[in-house]
Amino acid sequence: MKHWMLAIAAAVALAPWATAHDGHDHGKAEGQGKAAEHAHKHAAGPAQTFEGEIIDMACYMAHDGKGEKHAKCAQACLVKGMPAGLLTGDGKVFLLLENHSNPKGYTAVKKLAGEKAKVTGSVVEKSGISGLMVTGAEKAK
């Protein structure tokens, strides 16, 4: 009886964490995934293409890490899961975001760390941050 009550208490205590990430389709029920997809579509603008250097945001923000001499570090950082960015020729930085319903574009971004690239996606703005919901990326010519 004691074990049964302990199991119920643990389930009740952990319930908020089980639903804390609602809105993202990570194996959720069919209806929840569709709602998240709908929310992402309406949050972003039309697809646009930008050209610039794929940077790792951690090094760029901490010590202006960019350019050819920082490419190997950027590649290592993105492989470790650091956030990616796009530094355009006019100095604008976009935080690059994975499109949950189409992750292939962001996967391509990670392979281009430290290189000049063309990145396509929808611009999203929130709390002063410019993001790009990536749908495609290729090496710039």
Residues 56 and 30 in one domain: no
Residues 98 and 70 in one domain: yes
Residues 87 and 108 in one domain: yes
Residues 98 and 52 in one domain: yes
Residues 66 and 84 in one domain: yes
Residues 30 and 94 in one domain: no
The pLDDT, as a whole number, for residue 53 is 97
Residues 64 and 103 in one domain: yes
pTM of this structure: 0.70
Range of the domain at 14: 2-41
Residues 12 and 52 in one domain: no
Residues 77 and 20 in one domain: no
Average pLDDT over residues 47-61: 97
Q: b/e map of 78-87 (b: 16 or more CB within 10 Å)?
A: beeebebbbb
Residues 66 and 11 in one domain: no
Residues 89 and 133 in one domain: yes
Residue % of the chain over a pLDDT of 70: 69
The pLDDT, as a whole number, for residue 1 is 46
Distance between CA atoms of residues 64 and 48, nearest Å: 26
Digit-coded pLDDT (tens) for 73-106: 999 999 999 999 999 999 999 999 999 999 999 9
Residue 69 sits in a domain whose CATH number is 2.40.50
Residue % of the chain over a pLDDT of 90: 67
As for how many domains the chain has, the answer is: 2
| pLDDT, greater one: 25 or 55 | 55
